[in-house]
Copies of this chain bind each other. A is one copy, B any other.
């Protein structure tokens, strides 16, 4: 199979593709070829993951074992009596073509080949990959080889072979991740788990023998549990991939936001990209132009990508770029205006009549112009009053709320007032900064109620910017003008 034809196949056989890609994420039954009871080995972690968490049927295949702890092992996948939707292969590279052929004969529609030792290790591996390609072509869809596969928080399908004590698993949620790097994907999921960020689906495609970014995007666009797709990429590999990716991104962006962090931006990094994934980092300006053209939200690093994604997943789109800033710290208010202004968002001065209404209720020290500075004497009730008075007016399109919870006048109840303000159907983000347990509790409460929290004004501003950008993109698509 030539790379060119592989790329083009994505579109032409869409009807038949739908099913294997769906089975990749949502199989009814999985066979693990290379299953093992050996803890912390690649096959061992996958075996444990699927046996303990996967909500479908699991068949273990390894000729070395008959039964371990009451669980049957099959000599070959061909010995399994039931249907097998997905085969996960974690055997040494030389054995992969043979077991893949068995998976095909068993009738499996898709396989995740975890095993490394293919084109990424040099000539001999590349020959093996060619052999594998010949076996698989048009007979079974392949994710990998040399990948960590799929994490599905909804059904417990988890081929990420990093043990739980080293890599936390995020809760189900509206974000999906497509990562060109397995290690980066593992670290992000670990990070997201700790921060209670819901990542429903994650996938790493390794050497990309068959299934590529574009197809994964197409699938994720259709999965209604996913609200935002985050993509980590280093570079494309095959001729024609760029065009295909651009076409697919354009389509997907019309359905849900896509946030992309493209690494390998500098010339200095291009060598490192090549030795990492045999991809071409390419000229970043060309990538950037492509991503913009497609309507993608571009991130500058990984946390940046998730900062924006969590706002895009939870907030309505704004109708303009005017931000109401409420703060209990003048300093944080200033930093927010800097950050918003730098991103092209406005902090409009409120009308004199509106300020008059605010002044009547707020203490004399409060600043009512916008940013509205409630000062260190702020209370929950003042925030509620300002939110309820200003956010519904036509002067502002979204709110950035700074709540430094170090001051004693604020309580966890402020979170309820902020959550209630969602009824105005305008985006709300919160800046909280500190480290004590009370702050953490406040932040958890908000995030669990669908209000994204950021630890710095510039991060919150960037999230609002992403919402505004996506609103413009969607507006353009729907013929709506900001």
Contacts and interface: CB of A to CB of B under 8 A. Distances in A.
A120 B273 contact: no
Contacts of A371: 272
A162 B433 contact: no
Contact of A435 (B194, B342, B408): B194
Contacts of A417: none
Nearest to A300: B458
Give the copy number: 2
Given A166-B405, A190-B434, A194-B435, A181 B330 contact: yes
A269 interface: yes
Contacts of A22: none
Given A263-B338, A269-B334, A342-B266, A435 B195 contact: yes
Q: A interface, how many residues as a size bin?
A: 35 or more
Contacts of A187: 329, 332, 404, 406, 433-434
Interface in A324-381: 328-335, 337-338, 340-342, 346-347, 349, 364-365, 367, 369, 371, 373, 376
Contact of A272 (B182, B334, B376, B404): B334
A268 interface: yes
Given A182-B376, A439-B190, A330 B407 contact: no
A365 B121 CA distance: 6
Given A365-B120, A438-B165, A272 B333 contact: yes
B269 A167 contact: no
Contacts of A302: 335, 433, 456
Given A190-B434, A330-B277, A376 B183 contact: yes
A337 B436 CA distance: 35
Contacts of A340: 268
Interface in A286-303: 300-303
Contacts of A301: 335, 456-458
A168 interface: yes
A184 B332 contact: yes
A216 interface: no
Contact of A268 (B181, B337, B376): B337
Contacts of A265: 338, 342
A433 B191 contact: yes
A40 interface: yes
Contacts of A281: 334
A315 interface: no
A266 to B, nearest CB: 4
Contacts of A433: 187-188, 190-191, 302
A27 B340 CA distance: 43
Contacts of A163: 408
A276 interface: yes
Contacts of A263: 331, 334-335, 338
Given A232-B331, A408-B40, A436 B190 contact: yes
B436 A167 contact: yes
A186 interface: yes
Nearest to A408: B40
Interface string A418-449: 00000000000000011111110000000000
Contacts of A191: 433-435, 455
A112 B7 CA distance: 71
A440 B120 CA distance: 32
Given A181-B329, A183-B406, A341-B268, A273 B165 contact: no
A183 B431 CA distance: 13
Given A163-B408, A187-B404, A329-B184, A273 B434 contact: no
6 contacts: A122-B364, A162-B406, A167-B406, A187-B329, A268-B340, A272-B373
